[in-house]
Amino acid sequence: MSLRLSDLAPCFEGVIPSIIATAAADGTPNISYLSHVVRVDEEHVALSNQFFAKTAANIRANPQVTLILVDCFTGDQFLLDIRFVRSVEHGPLFDKISLQLRASSAQVGMAEVMRLRSADIFRVHGIEPVLSPVEPAPAPARRRTISLPDLAEAGRAIERKIETEEIIDSLLGGVAHLLGHRNALVLARDVHRGCFTTTGSIGYERSGLGSEVAGEDGLIGAAAASGLTVKVSDMSRVRRFGEAIDADAMASEDATRTIAFPELPLAMSQIAVPMKIRDEVIGILFVESLERMAFGEEDQAALEILAGQAARALKESERAANSASGAIPAAGRTAAGGRDVHVVHHRLDDSIFVDGAYIVKGIAGALLRLMLDWHLSEGRSEFSNRELRLALAPRMPEVKDNLETRLLLLRRRLEEKQAPIQIRRTGRGRLRIEAQGSPTLAAAQE
């Protein structure tokens, strides 16, 4: 065949419905739309078996099938002659199709309706372009290809970083500079709270640092649960629950101890890439764009490479900080004076308020409480990561793997809220607490 499946990449984005024609054993034709066609390799496609009983029965009675695929950039159509080979109900291919289906049905607001039961694999026997009444559109302004040397350099830049903060910033910088995507988040897994917490953010009006995503819903939840990249390429028909930005976001933060997730209200494309070390998802890189179909195969591959690099660097950073000098800094009265800074700790969720403003909860909250406690009882302002880790581990064992990301979240939230207490890094695995005034620590009356 002169056209190859790999030439039809824009037909597999799940944006414009495909069409499937089958015929029953007696030759009665059947025609329906198809939510998703997945390219398996150069000779096979998989169809989500979401179509109707008649199509499924026809395929088994008469394996000859005709597909119409549509290029989502140009509208060009292709006729494919395909033959049913087999059905899959589990395994990696099934998972891949299932996930793509979930994302593509999310983009038409039907995630609940579409649930994959099985996927059917077909061999492609012929591909022919359908005649078009219009002149072929000038090649659409597809994004430039990603240069491999630039990608390698972006990867090395992440690898060279030692501190958690630098690694996350370097990853987000790579997304912005190499791929040209301006809105991106890094979410770190919080085993303790069973969610993913925004730890780095670029391009948003509100950074959303500290906001949490729980469960398997949405792209981030689906990517976290499956360990696979999930994307939506055309959000134009997704119901936009979040369009009205909550003007009282700050006020409601204090009331609900919940930080609003950063939003790009007019986003057309979104992608959630798991940051994995082997099979363990330690975080999610989430990128969105105002353009339709912003994340093609190349973007996805590049994001997966950078996310993997960052995951390994973060793990190494935790390990290095763990083994850094554990000497407990000497005590010494720090000059405190001025007004009182009221810090309130809620035992229930370890949430922390400074002068009435909500800062953070979970491990990050517990860390600040601990440092303040030592600051007030021992009179010292310097702490080592190691002693924090040791002190919290009995209650929060997972702290040994993600203390660095929690400290980063805490530091950034204090900065963002311009709180009168700040945490500064003073060296490898060491921190200092700085207060503009005399801190007081109280347990909240729950």
* Interface positions with other proteins (CB under 8 A): 16, 19-23, 25, 27-33, 35, 50, 52-54, 62, 64-68, 70, 72-77, 79, 81, 108, 110, 113-114, 130-134, 137, 234, 236-237
CB-nearer residue toward other proteins: 31 or 348: 31
Taking the least distance from each CB to other proteins, the nearer of 25 and 393 is: 25
> Nearest distance from residue 139's CB to other proteins, in Å?
13
CB of 297 to other proteins, least distance (A): 20
Min dist CB 47 to other proteins, Å, is: 14
Q: Minimum Å distance from CB 113 to other proteins?
A: 5
Residues 198, 200, 206, 212: what is their CA dihedral angle, to the nearest 10 degrees? Answer: 0
For residue 34, CA distances in Å to 47, 69, 105, 188 come to 8, 10, 11, 36
Report the alpha-carbon distance of residue 319 to residue 429 in Å, rounded. 11
Which residue, 52 or 332, has its beta carbon nearer to other proteins?
Answer: 52
Which of 31/327 has CB closer to other proteins?
Answer: 31
How would DSSP label each residue in 56-104? Answer: HHHHHH--EEEEEEE-TTT--EEEEEEEEEEEESSSHHHHHHHHHHHHH
Give the Cα separation of 66 and 367 in Å (integer).
61
Cβ–Cβ under 8 Å, residues 8 and 78 = yes
Q: Which is nearer to other proteins, 117 or 395 (CB)?
A: 117
The three-point CA angle 394-190-399 to 5° equals 30
Under 8 Å between Cβ of 103 and 47: no
What's the closest the beta carbon of residue 276 comes to other proteins, in angstroms? Answer: 33
* DSSP SS3 for 284: strand
The total number of residues shown for the chain amounts to 446
User: Residue 137: which of 77, 79, 75 has the closest Cα?
Assistant: 75
Q: Return the number of the residue (73 or 358) whose C-beta is nearest other proteins.
A: 73
Residue by residue, DSSP assigns 172-234 as: HHHHHHHH---EEEEEEEETTTTEEEEEEEES-SS--TT-EEESS-HHHHHHHHHSS-EEES-
Query: Which CB atom, from 1 or from 390, has the smaller least distance to other proteins?
Result: 1
Instruction: Provide the terminal-to-terminal Cα distance of the chain, rounded to the nearest Å.
Output: 71
**Minimum distance from CB of 251 to other proteins (Å)?**
35
Judged by beta carbon, residue 130 or residue 442, the one nearer other proteins is 130
Q: Give the shortest CB-296-to-other proteins separation in angstroms.
A: 17
CB of 232 to other proteins, least distance (A): 14
